[in-house]
Amino acid sequence: MQAAAGRGYRDVMPFELSECDIVMGTRRKEDEIVDALRRKAGQVDVLLTCGSCTTVVMGMDAKALSRRCAQELGCELIERGQNYREDLPENVAKTFRRFLEGPVGAASPDPSGVNLYDFPYRYREEELVPFLAEMGLQSRLHLLPEVSVGAVRRIPEALWQVSLATSSRASALPELFSQKGLRALPVPAPYGIRGTRLCLEAIARETGRAEAFQAAWRHRWSGFRDAWRELSREARRYRLAFVVRDEGRLHDPVLSRGVPFLGMLREMGFGVDLLVYAPHAEARPAAETSRGAGVRRGVFRDPGELDRLLREGAFRAVFSDIFYDWRLTEAGKAQFSRRNFEMGLAGALRSLRGLLSICRLPFYERYAPFLARRSRGGHG
């Protein structure tokens, strides 16, 4: 390939581009993929492909490769777009719809059968499934994030399709289930005592098992009540903090992954400090406001003011998803994150115990001078 020369451009020399993957695509590697898949012909039910920016940069025709692979495998093809996160709900629904077409499943769904979507394994197996059984409901399929073709085709065997209302993966499924004559039931995420009760009550109300729910709840709650109340009394001695640009972001289910942080901490008994970034406001330390007993709000305008609020705050720990956050360690504060919040009654009790352990830990306060960041150039 020759560059133009002698047309008024100064110091432009002719040059050549040799054939390479970046310019000419990835044909050789594509052929290797197709050859490898050819040996699996007849063994695959569906081929799911997802485009990415990498394929675009490399000059690769991803859609053409997907079609070649599906043809060699002799299977269904489902192509996901490049914007995976935004397309996720529609892609999941598209996948399910493909295998629910035509006469599948039982002739009539079991009115006591329940399929569960996107519930964490531990909560589902240890609490939710046994609780449903106490209410006279039979848990059949557990889908998302795991999915199999055989399981999807069995969905119509159960009438009730219970999913987390905060699940992005399952958010487009209710409409599909309604079209198939199934009862879609998005429920509140069972975080904390109140959230767990609301979740189970919603299932009981829709399935006509309100009385069975009351009896099952009394039985379950009685086993947690005393421990919960004792630990909650201790939690009232401590405060926890969040650093936010906009307080509303704490309530965004996408950013919080459905965890109601403030509500759950207040239910546990902890005081909460919100350190709010407001570059044009007057800086002030955290103080009580009328928006909620036990909630204090402070304002900072720059990193220096944030450092001061972190050092001087009465809170024991601060929320951060950054591993070993230097901004906290050098201020003498411990750290908690999404990992410290679990679903269900037992999960709420474990969460409370874990947060109390963090608050009791004197390590960061005692050794803060030795835990400062190495430089001021950034977090790391």
Matching residue, tokens 């902890």: 270
Q: Give the phi and the psi of residue 288 in degrees, each rounded to 5.
A: -60, 145
Q: What is the mean pLDDT of the chain?
A: 86
Tokens representing 353 are 């115990």
One-letter amino acid at 158 equals A
Q: Flag whether pLDDT at 6 surpasses 70.
A: no
* Domains of the chain in sequence order: 21-82 (3.40.50.1980), 110-222 (3.40.50.1980), 231-370 (3.40.50)
0.75 cut: is pTM over it?
yes
**Residue 288, pLDDT score:** 55
DSSP 8-state secondary structure symbol assigned to residue 142: E
346's enclosing H/E stretch is: helix 344-360
- The answer to whether residue 376 scores a pLDDT higher than 60 is no
User: Average pLDDT, stretch 150-155?
Assistant: 93
Q: What is the pLDDT of residue 160?
A: 98
Q: What is the pLDDT of residues 296-338, one digit of tens each?
A: 999 999 999 999 999 999 999 999 989 889 999 999 999 999 9
Residue 259, φ and ψ in degrees, nearest 5: -85, 120
Residue type for 170, please?
A: A
Q: What phi and psi, each to the nearest 5 degrees, are found at residue 12?
A: -105, 115
172: number of Cβ within 10 Å: 17
Lowest-pLDDT choice from 18-22, 137-141, 298-302, 325-329: 18-22
% of the chain surpassing 90 pLDDT: 58
Write out pLDDT tens, residues 51-83: 777 777 777 788 888 899 989 998 888 777 665
pLDDT value for 286 = 63
Residue in 76, 80, 79, 72 with CA at minimum distance from that of residue 32: 72
- Span 197-202, average pLDDT: 98
Least confident window among 94-108, 153-167, 349-363: 94-108
* Phi, psi dihedrals of residue 34, rounded to the nearest 5°: -60, -40
E strand or H helix at 31: helix 27-38
Q: Who contacts 219 (Cβ-Cβ below 8 Å, separation ≥6)?
A: 134
Is 39's pLDDT higher than 80?
yes
Nearest in space to 143 (alpha carbons), one of 193, 191, 78, 99: 99
According to the model, what pLDDT value does residue 84 have?
Answer: 56
Lowest-pLDDT range of 7-16, 227-236, 322-331: 7-16
Q: Mean of the pLDDT values across residues 337-359?
A: 97
pLDDT of residue 252: 75
Question: Is pLDDT at 16 greater than 80 in this prediction?
Answer: no
pLDDT for 129: 98
**Per-residue pLDDT at 258:** 85
